[in-house]
Amino acid sequence: MIELHIRCFAQVREAFKKSRLILVIEEGISVSQFLKATIFQRVEQLGGLPLRVAVNQIYVDENHILQDGDEVALISPVSGG
């Protein structure tokens, strides 16, 4: 098992009611598997939200494999400016 440090912002923070959380998942899981099995299943209201993921401060694609201790930011559509 591996431990992930999750950062939540905007709609994701509202859904989880937290800005940071720690999740423990199986090893060898990709970003898309993580989103599907751990995030979207757990928090229904995020189901239709297009999320980008940054791991350790870098945007990654859906095939990226998560590692123990990763900081995983769930980036919902941004609205700066």
Partner 1 sequence: MVETTITENSISYEIPPHFQGDDGAELHFFGRVRKEEQGQPITRLFYDHYEGLAQTELQKLSEKVASSYEISRLYCVHRVGLVPVGEASLQVIIWSPHRGEGLEAMSAFITQLKQDVPIWKEAVFTDGRRVVVECCH
Part in contact with partner 1 (CB under 8 A); list of ranges 27-35, 37-45, 60-68, 69-77: 69-77
d(CA 2, CA 62): 18
Which residue type is seen at 21?
A: L
Near partner 1 by CB under 8 A: residue from 2, 5, 14, 43: 14
69: alpha, beta or left? (left if phi > 0; alpha if psi -120 to 50)? left
Near partner 1 by CB under 8 A: residue from 2, 5, 7, 30: 7
Near partner 1 by CB under 8 A: residue from 44, 48, 50, 80: 80
